[in-house]
Structure 1
Amino acid sequence: MFSLKGMTAAITGGTSGIGEAVAARFTAAGARVVIIGRRDGSEVARRTGAIAAVRADCSAEAEVSRALHDARDALGENLDVLVNNAGVENTGPMIADATVEELNRVFAINTFAVFHGLKQGARVMKDGGSIINTASIAALLGIPGYSQYSASKAAVVSLTRSAAVELAPRGIRVNSVCPGSVFTPMLPQDHPEVPVAARMSPLGRVGTTDDMVGVYHFLASAESRYMTGQALVVDGGIVAGVSLGTLEAVATMAAGVVS
């Protein structure tokens, strides 16, 4: 069960964070993997067991097309799985202080990279394959200071649904994963988001990449063969409702105000 033996996969944003962890999980499950990223991924490929690393700026369609064809050539056959995981963080400015330049930058990497992956990836995929897009719980929540990031990830969820319908005649499933806060190079231990996210989570902690990889593994495998167009939330329960930690913090604050 859940074996990926003999399957081929390409992972964008595969040189660090969730992408690197997914590459390691896929190879451990028997897949042959190519990682794609802006940085030199040769050491990550060695560490994860990927057969090759391809450099590309996934915000540019021509580079995505070239990278996916290179991945197919390295694998020797079309892809069974494509993970569109390239992304960038953006937090801080409220809408009133945000710039169009930053909005364009965030969308170019978080949204257009997925669009390019869906368009170009389908051309090098086998019928019956699986495409997995990395979105975020920010796509589902309104969070002050996250407007540009949230909008870019909400667009990923929408693209996932559209692509799922369009690619269904070929049997290609398209789903997205919506992680909560996860420790990666984009979210180090000392990031100000960490204590807030831990308190907001009913499970009381920030996620790790190990918490994420099982969902990607499931979506890549035949066990998810009747699932498409979905956004799977993996967030320690933040979207489920108000955590006890949040209530305790509010109660403490309220008591301080009253006293």
Structure 2
Amino acid sequence: MLHGKVVLVTGAASGIGAAAARLFASYGARLALLDRDEEVAALAAELPDAVALPYDVADRDAVFAAVEQAAARFGRLDGAFNNAGIEGLGGGMAPTEGYPADEFERVLAVNVRGVFNCLAAELPRLPPGGAVVNTASVLGWLGGPGQAAYAASKHAVVGLTRSAALEQAARGVRVNAILPGAVATPMLLERGFRANPDFAEAAPGAHPMGRIARPEEVAEGAAWLLSDKASFVTGHTLAIDGGLSAR
């Protein structure tokens, strides 16, 4: 589905990003894997045609350097999966009036400015037929008690996606977003559930399908949106949430 395409994946060291890297490689993509976590190098080494880019998406200069490095390595850039993100408070929750201002800014720096930085660096590099997928969340549509920073940041990702899609449509570059529900990633299992045992018990049942998602299921949605099979889809927000947002 992605045969021969050069795709940049951010937040690639673990969770949805790592699952996407492996899936995209199985579909024939050549990969530039960006993550501030050094484990991204090990992932790149296990894939057939991948390079590791140890950068932080919140650092604008670093993002532009990474995109240039990817384009130099492969000769072009065909797509990007802007997936890097953090939840804030180490998975904990706090009411809006008590949410620490410095932590709020940290979440927005990664989740909003990071996507903005990536789009600014990637879009000029993409040819007609190129595509971008941004990872938002069902909390980009819905509210999340105790998750003011995360919900605000993911609403912003939806806005960035739609604006960029309208700007790029005339030249044939597509920009979409995925909106996962709860996913079995370290962000949720190792931090969110541990910090909030009640949430851990309630999460599967909150999804009408009665379970949380596997990272690979979310990655499949991103792969389709990046592929030519979605050639007339842009400005779309694809919920991959087991029916959660349909309630």
TM-score normalized with structure 2 length: 0.93
Decide which of 13, 19, 22 is 2:20's aligned counterpart. Answer: 22
Displacement after TM superposition at 1:50 (Å): 4.5
Decide which of 200, 211, 220 is 1:214's aligned counterpart. Answer: 220
Displacement after TM superposition at 1:37 (Å): 0.4
Q: In the alignment, is the contact (CA less than 8 A) between 2:23 and 2:216 conserved in 1?
A: no
Say whether residues 1:149 and 2:150 are aligned partners: yes
| Partner AA of 1:73 in structure 2 | A
Decide which of 201, 204, 209 is 2:207's aligned counterpart. Answer: 201
Pairing 1:1-259 to 2, within 5 Å after superposition: 3-40=1-38, 41-75=40-74, 77-90=75-88, 91-188=92-189, 190-191=193-194, 192=197, 193-241=199-247
Q: Distance in 2 between matches of 1:199 and 1:6?
A: 40
Q: Distance in 2 between matches of 1:198 and 1:151?
A: 23
Displacement after TM superposition at 1:127 (Å): 2.1
Query: Any stretches of 5+ residues in structure 1 without a counterpart?
Result: 242-259
Q: Distance in 1 between matches of 2:93 and 2:48?
A: 37
Q: Distance in 1 between matches of 2:50 and 2:157?
A: 28
Q: Distance in 2 between matches of 1:60 and 1:170?
A: 28
2:93 alignment partner, SS class: coil
Percent identity over the alignment? 37
Deviations 1:40-77 (A, max 9, x none): 211111234452100111011111101111111121x2
Q: In the alignment, is the contact (CA less than 8 A) between 2:10 and 2:17 conserved in 1?
A: yes
Q: Distance in 1 between matches of 2:219 and 2:142?
A: 23
Q: Distance in 1 between matches of 2:118 and 2:67?
A: 8
Displacement after TM superposition at 1:100 (Å): 1.8
TM-score normalized with structure 1 length: 0.89
| Partner AA of 1:229 in structure 2 | G
1:178 alignment partner, SS class: strand
Displacement after TM superposition at 1:187 (Å): 1.2
Q: In the alignment, is the contact (CA less than 8 A) between 1:194 and 1:206 conserved in 2?
A: no
Aligned residue pair count: 238
Q: In the alignment, is the contact (CA less than 8 A) between 1:140 and 1:154 conserved in 2?
A: yes
Q: Distance in 2 between matches of 1:213 and 1:50?
A: 18
Q: Distance in 2 between matches of 1:187 and 1:92?
A: 13
Deviations 1:180-225 (A, max 9, x none): 0111111116533332211111111111102112101110111100
Q: Distance in 1 between matches of 2:112 and 2:97?
A: 22
1:4 alignment partner, SS class: coil
Q: Distance in 1 between matches of 2:47 and 2:103?
A: 33
| Partner AA of 2:134 in structure 1 | N
Q: Distance in 1 between matches of 2:94 and 2:47?
A: 36
Q: Distance in 2 between matches of 1:153 and 1:46?
A: 31
